[in-house]
Chains A and B, each alone.
Chain A
Amino acid sequence: MSAATPAARWEPVIGLEVHVQLATRSKAFSPAPAGFGAPPNSQCDPVVLALPGSLPVFNRSALELALRLGLACGSSIRPVSRFARKHYFYPDLPKGYQISQFEEPLCEGGTIEIELGGRTRAVQLRRIHLEEDAGKNLHQAGGAVSQVDLNRAGVPLIEVVSEPDLFSADEAAEYMRTLRQLCRWLDISGGDMEKGQLRCDANVSLRPAGTGELGTRAELKNINSFKFVHHAIEHEIARQARILDQGGEVVQETRLWDAVSGRSQSMRSKEEAMDYRYFPDPDLPPLAVDEAAVAAVRAALPELPGPRMARYRGLGLGDDDTRALCADRAVADRFDAALGAHGGGAAAAKPIANWILGEKDPATSTVAVEHVAELVRLIEDGTISGPSAKAVWAEMADSGEAPASIVARRGLVQVRDESAIESACAEVVAAHPAEAASYRAGKAQLIGFFVGKVMKKTGGRADPVLVNQVLRRLLAGESAT
């Protein structure tokens, strides 16, 4: 693994082509199911198999998902876009061509905002277009035959093409993270690279730092795992820097990333580049998207992660909490709902975030947000103590019972009666004269011991702040008797 830092005089320029599988129920151009993990070749029909005479019929639910991303990125939407055929022969491509978009893509322009080192930057997009996925060739190691599984063939994809507007592997990786978050946020894709729902090809070139022209690029394919995005690009930057440092020239080519060896190898040169013989697909009329349809998708868009994170920071939440909440829209929505149910505003944000993020799987939690809000209120108004609250949470997560009802039923209302606390504290101090003496002799940390004893004595119900005050007074003020 050679992740050598490139010489500082080379500036990397990176453009990413990201394929995103759209989470539609059926395929892009046929009613065959589009699910993941079914037995091989069980999700086929005449269109998927490219039987003679079969015709594609566009699944408009894929359009809606693509529009969500386009609108979220501020891309302009073509009122009429076109499907085109992209030709090449391969066993996983049943028709001998892939239906894609070429000259007139659905979305053009737009940006994806990435945040790196506390700074935000809008990465320019070139286009987002619709296409269909290919199947999979399965080669058994050492086997004489290859097999083809066409379950994935025809699954709708969007290809998100950035401009060469990323300038480090860090930026590229952050861009991928942001794009994945956005895809999940908008419910358009599972965004799981390991399942092939998100796939990344990277165009990488170097140029002398401070210059404007683009150098010769290499395209890296097959970056099929999230953790390899950074590594593969870093590796490619180093490879090109080595060539340039030695006075050589980078060859324009397509290189295949091999995650096992952590290296890339040349797949084909520019001269061997495929001629895809694009032309508009005569089986599919131009894809018309009227303004009303765009407006409807726009109106239904959720608040986007960028604004949402800004809002959370405005509530006083730290960066870690903000990111953790916004990693999944279900969690962020849960937080917002709980905050709304609480009604108390910014002050409640932190405790609510803590409770929500403290769950094992916040996105699928069954604890009602109203109960989260109620619990936080019970703590705030001093009705229950922190330790009691944990017990209440456990019980309400289990049974679904409202926290107030649990508190009442189990008698967990915090004891704030000073005389009761006073007598409990006095008893504890009296019962532990040795420890009291040590405390007075300077072992201040023994206060915790006494607080613990008092809390135990009161079944966790005593107000710990009050207990603390009283104990300190008793231990400091009174001389030993």
Chain B
Amino acid sequence: MKPPPFGYSRPESVAEAVAVLGSAAPDGKVLAGGQSLLPLLNMRLATPGHLVDINRLGELGFVRVDDGEVVIGALARHAEVLADPAATRAQPLIGQALALVAHPVIRNRGTTVGSIVHADPAGEMTAVLALLGGSVLLAGSSGERLVNAEDFFLGPLESDVRPDELATLVRLPVLGPRAGCAFAEVSRRLGDYAVCGVAALAELDEAGGVSRARAAYLSVAGTPLVLDLTEAGGDPASAGRLAKSRVAPAADIHATAAYRRHLAGVLTERALAGALTHARERAGG
């Protein structure tokens, strides 16, 4: 199918984009990479009155590491973030997750900030933002505001971006010196939506014990679910059992609820084991 008719603007600055969004609200929609929005338009699942195309805002096409955070601009494509050695070295979970986002051709066009704003419960980068406790900077007609990950995801495909706001960047904390991370997911084919996915983060204390372990889950809840697994004491198998008892996934055409719960357990065990190994390597153990 073809997209429905809509108005179109292609602003040349963030200020202009915000002004257009403000005048089009509540019927405006930001177009960045379009790898989620265009399918929704083509299938007529979305019918925005006005598209604000931010593809000329080169000022937002950055990836940088500063002050303990990886900062990703709204026009940085997944492929550009994945190919940024400084970013993926500072926070390896970004590279681990992005390698699982769709196919390379989709990553060439899709933006990391856009996929986070899209808030798909099956999105890898939404889980990364939630697990790391990152934040999203929103520019609107009444100024800027920074929204923390725990407040950002409101529901499936619903994030805390108001109709007159543009998400200009996301901030993701870098990985600590005694911490490790890993990503594990199961999809029918490489690049497909995950039936279930787990991002794990483990931190070690000075003695090498596990001081903190957490995991974020995709495709098991309407928003990225984050579980604290510290009480499992660094035992991946018991963390897997813990996770299995705490998730309440829904069934759909791709998997039964029971299978998703099973995967949550197995993938927790794998991801946490990977994160612990990674943390021990980094801690020099």
A binds B: no
- B residues whose Cβ falls under 8 Å from a Cβ of A: none
